[in-house]
Structure 1
Amino acid sequence: MTGPTVNASTNTNDRSVFLRRESAARGYCRRFDTVFTSARGSLMRDEAGREYIDFLAGCAALNYGHNDPAMREALLAHIGADGLAMGLDLHSTAKRAFLDTFESVILKPRGLPHRVQFTGPTGTNAVEAAMKLARKVTGRHNIIAFTNGYHGVTLGALAATGSAYNRMGLPLSGVTRVPFDGYMGSDMDSAALLARLLDDPSSGVDAPAAILLETVQGEGGLNAASPGWVQRIAALARQHGALLIVDDVQAGCGRTGSFFSFEPMGIVPDLVAMSKSLSGFGLPMALVLIHPDHDQWRPAEHNGTFRGNTHAFVTATAALQTYWREPGFEAEIARRAALTHAHLERIGREVPGSVLKGRGMMQGLDVHSGDLAGQVCSLAFARGLVIETSGAHDQVLKVLAPLNTPLPLLEQGLSILHGAVTDTLATSLRHAA
């Protein structure tokens, strides 16, 4: 007796099965409507053999590009030696190697005493764990979060996420939202506003368990907080007995220039949520860094079958050893960030009222129109560049190229973006005439 016949498509770029069977929740593939087959570094290739420059990088989950050779070889060697594939939170040689390397290369040089909690392998799970732990440690419930913040879409983290689209009108609670740095322009000092609310027992704002923030709001539109503002928020957390949580899921692992986005701010958060590029290879992995004073979990109190991805430990260790053990990588990031900034400045001169946003290799251009930004991205894709938008109205052209993108390729991608902006504006003017 034979089994069922599998009718796998052999047609180049056939997307019918995705339309037929994949949920309507699919997102990125709607804009980048092709079938990808392979990728290396900052280039992706589709079934038709066409190459695309990648300025999305897995939404900052591929800070070192696709299929980095050192990480690939480490993973293949581990698998070839029958290395442990799945270990819950058991001790393993792969986990030990990661923790030893993370301690010596990242934590100790930065004077961070934090312990490492491996959570379920998504950024939102790390945020959930941080919020839960802050509530457990303080005995309080309220979390202070900020306008345009994005912290994930599971219900606890979703309560702290600003996007109405993601919140879907659900009954979410336990979060007080206040304006992020610069939200009201120069008309409001939001740190002073928060100080007043916390000092006033009749403000209606309950004493917080934690203050949760991104130093650069990735999905919120690349809003970058100033060091002074972050320092004041950190001081407010200390003053009022709240834990400071930095969500470094998207802005961490070198994306803003330093390994942690908060390093230039001169602060030490109580809890740090990390994921995305932590594995270095696009493998799911997330953790919470916990100051020892607050590591009050009971065994398996926040658990999950896939807390700790052994294959991700292997590639994460290789990433740290390849890019962060020796000095110089941050200078390379800064070089690419300066090039990106210069190109975006030139592009911005063509778009009336546009604003450069973000920092490091997490920069973009606010063109004040989601329609315009979407048209630019579509034209750029047609010309071989994968780039997305962010912001409340998807109005920010968001450059998330891998941190090690070769300079000529980075230049080429930015030139494609420039041309797409120029031609989209010209088309708009012709239609308006």
Structure 2
Amino acid sequence: MRLIHLALLACTAFALTSCNDTLDTVEADVSHIKNKVGHPLSPARLAEMQKKDMERNAPIMIRIFKEEGALEIWKAKRDNRFDKIAEYQICAWSGKLGPKVKEGDRQAPEGFYNLTPGHMNPNSSYYLAINTGFPNRYDQANGRSGTNLMIHGACSSSGCYSMTDAQVLEIYAFARDAFTGGQKTIQLQAFPFRMTAENMVRHRHSENLDFWKMLKVGYDNFEVTKRPPEVNVCEKKYVFNQQTEGGSFNASAQCPAMSTPPALANALAGYGKTYDLAYEKAVKKYDGMAWYDPSEAERKAVVADKRKGREAAYAPTGSSLKAGKLMKEAEFAALMDKKNHVTPVLTPQAPAATASTPRPATPQQSPVSTGQTAIASNTTQPAAGMTTASVPVPSMNPLAFAPQQAPEPEKKKPFWKLWATE
């Protein structure tokens, strides 16, 4: 009997450990915390850092996945590779999958953003907040507008990524410690979903597919290197980890002559072959099917019971995966026609025979596999109707940190040279 009890305890401990490795709910009571801005990370979190060979003040990166409702903290190890140290369930995000386009559309941003100490707001009405940096250079070049898009507490969103107060307390501490350690900017990567081959096929009918293909190039670069990619914008498009030959990047102007470092290009090609095989398999799996992306109201309905007994401002929105559904393409088209009062045009499905055919890489673009999009070429024309908008970037918060002058560019070893030595 004693052995049975020990076995049950061991299994329970293993299950709890596995759960904590994938998702941190962090539902601690924060009402007793007097100094929320300086509140330290827990001893358990610091022990996990030590186990993963991370310095307490080492750089971090933040990744967000809307559909899965997940926010991840990745932290640099002593070998300069990043590893995931925490993952949280997002309490509320507004709108549907897809980027923020204009003020008031209730959409939460998607893209690549740089966070500075000035984006930290210790005096937020929503417990604590970190400005996402929207609109960035890409958003401005494409005429997108919006202000005060945050990661904050209170579990209530109108274009933001809202966490519980306990969660944002820890996220804020991760960012604070990284800035204290000397990190100048923290990269925020906000995606509609984990950009796997299956997810790309499942969402192949979305009007946002071309935009998501562009984001996927940056996603792939991180998956291959486990280092935040160097992000630039030209011809109103994102470009990642590109070496230039004497030119400079301008968000709305023609891209300079650029190329992908050979070692990285080879690694991306290998990654792409594996992706192509998975994509071909997914095309067969979802043949004749389309994914219905639920509205915010439909997501809220799934978690309506969570609001019972809570203050009115508490507004969890639920998971897109739980509220959405797979439908036959004909049923999906009829539903979209009913919602939009127009005849929808479904994106043609790529034949399975060509799904794994690699696309040739040119000196000005990274290798691209099925479901991705090429990095901007010098012949790309601006999209019709697009104009450059002079939208101001979020202003620095003078209460967060003392005003800082723009730092001199660091003379650091390019990441691809560091990576190529391994």
Q: Same fold (TM over 0.5)?
A: no
TM bucket, shorter chain: under 0.3
Query: Per residue, is there more helix in 1 or in 2?
Result: 1
TM-score between both structures, scaled by the size of structure 1:
0.26
TM-score between both structures, scaled by the size of structure 2:
0.27
Name the structure, 1 or 2, with higher relative contact order (CA <8 Å, separation 6+). 1
